Chains A and B, each alone.
Chain A
Amino acid sequence: MKIFPSLSTAFFCLFIFSFSISTAQELTDKFKYKATYELTWQIDSTNAESIQNETMLLFTGAGYSRFSSQGHHIEDSIQRVYKERERTPQSFSEMRSKISETKFKYYINKKLADREINFQEEIVKDYYEYSEDLSSIEWNILPETKDISGFAVQKAKTSYAGRNYTAWFTSEIPIPDGPYKFNGLPGLIIKIADEKEYYVFKLTGFKSLKEPIFDTESDEDYLEVDKNKFREIKEEYNVDPIAALGRSGMTISFKSGLGQKEKMMKEHRKELKKQNNPIELK
């Protein structure tokens, strides 16, 4: 019995086999660690009581990483499973009950060697992404050291998007990565905060993944735009979210004569005013 009908088939199979091994290694290297950060932020700079907390996740490996809120990560995972299941009212209710609220619905993917990031976010029903080269962000590594959460850390400073940051990194975890877009230090960032402490990321957990994560790519088709265009689209949505719904085929019929739309828009504008302290100022 011939195992391979021809020599060329044998080579082809060998090629496929080697390709599978190399791809598996590449994927294995992708996300080997999970770092958990607690983000504390003050969304209204005029109100010290507007401080909020959220758990953020960084999946990282030798060359790549993905950062998001824990809520968004869970929501995406659950929705992915839901899409593959039979759609019944029970499964829909079950899915909704498992989803926790998040204020951050973005992903930040980093290519650590090149210090390039890819930012992805959904606005209404459209998926947008932009790339950003962060190699121009320079760190000033200072001699000061201390201990944070059991790690020996060293101080570093940088400026990004209108804020001055102080970071504490550890060479005990030699991964040049950190929360949000921050990267490029000779060790994982354990804590980073802007000088006014409006945005503070602090490591609360770090572990090696028993099973490295392979499939983290989104099923959605992202429309690539530049950062300025993305901001423009987001601003347009913020100014009039009701009109943005209309552009995606959803319409709201307001009760006539009661000024319902005006009331909703007034309330929205009031809320927007309170959200005056984004992480990126420029």
Chain B
Amino acid sequence: MKLLKNSFLGTVFLLALGSVSIVTANNENKDLEVEKRACVRTTFSFGVTALTCGDTTEEIIAKIIEADEEICPIN
């Protein structure tokens, strides 16, 4: 139950992040930004999976770290 709650909160917060998008169940992500930029499927340290996108590897990695830091403490 706790995991479900954390996943829900994580999802809500990740959606607030412009370029971190949750992978939908049928994998139909229509976000144009996602399509034109490099995106990777990321599993954060609290178990939530999302797509993280950016123009460079450095940008993608910075976003992963930032999202993990800002969202994980709510667990």
Interface of A is mostly: helix
Closest to A269 in B: B57
Q: A125-B65, A271-B58 are in contact. Are A93 and B16 (CB under 8 A)?
A: yes
A8 contacts partner chain B, Cβ-Cβ < 8 Å:
no
Shortest A255–chain B CB gap in Å is: 8
Residues in A with CB closer than 8 Å to B69 are: 125
The answer for the CA separation of A83 and B69 in the assembled complex, in Å, is: 11
Max chain A Cβ within 10 angstroms of own Cβ: one of B12, B17, B57, B64: B57
A 201-217 contacts with B by CB, 8 A: none
Closest to A263 in B: B38
A87 contacts partner chain B, Cβ-Cβ < 8 Å:
yes
Shortest A240–chain B CB gap in Å is: 11
The answer for the CA separation of A264 and B37 in the assembled complex, in Å, is: 12
A249 contacts partner chain B, Cβ-Cβ < 8 Å:
yes
* B45 A252 Cβ-Cβ under 8 A: no
The one of B38, B44, B70 in contact with A250, judged by C-beta atoms closer than 8 angstroms, is B44
* B65 A267 Cβ-Cβ under 8 A: no
Shortest B70–chain A CB gap in Å is: 7
Q: A89-B13, A92-B16, A271-B56 are in contact. Are A251 and B68 (CB under 8 A)?
A: no
Residues in B with CB closer than 8 Å to A251 are: 42-43
A253 contacts partner chain B, Cβ-Cβ < 8 Å:
yes
* A250 B43 Cβ-Cβ under 8 A: yes
A146 contacts partner chain B, Cβ-Cβ < 8 Å:
no
B 42-75 contacts with A by CB, 8 A: 42-45, 56-58, 60-61, 64-65, 68-71, 73-74
A137 contacts partner chain B, Cβ-Cβ < 8 Å:
no
* A83 B17 Cβ-Cβ under 8 A: no
* B56 A267 Cβ-Cβ under 8 A: yes
B interface footprint on A224-264 (CB within 8 Å = 1, 0 otherwise): 00000000000000000110010011111110000010011
* B13 A245 Cβ-Cβ under 8 A: no
* B40 A260 Cβ-Cβ under 8 A: yes
A-B contact pairs, 15 of them (CB 8 A): A83-B73, A89-B16, A90-B16, A125-B68, A125-B69, A241-B61, A248-B45, A249-B68, A250-B45, A250-B64, A253-B42, A254-B41, A264-B57, A264-B60, A267-B56
- Residues of A near any B CB (own CB < 8 A): 79, 82-83, 87, 89-90, 92-93, 95-96, 124-125, 241-242, 245, 248-254, 260, 263-265, 267-268, 271
Q: List 14 additional contacts besides A87-B74, A267-B56; criterion CB under 8 Å.
A: A89-B12, A89-B13, A89-B15, A92-B17, A96-B18, A124-B65, A125-B65, A241-B61, A248-B68, A250-B44, A250-B45, A250-B64, A252-B64, A253-B42
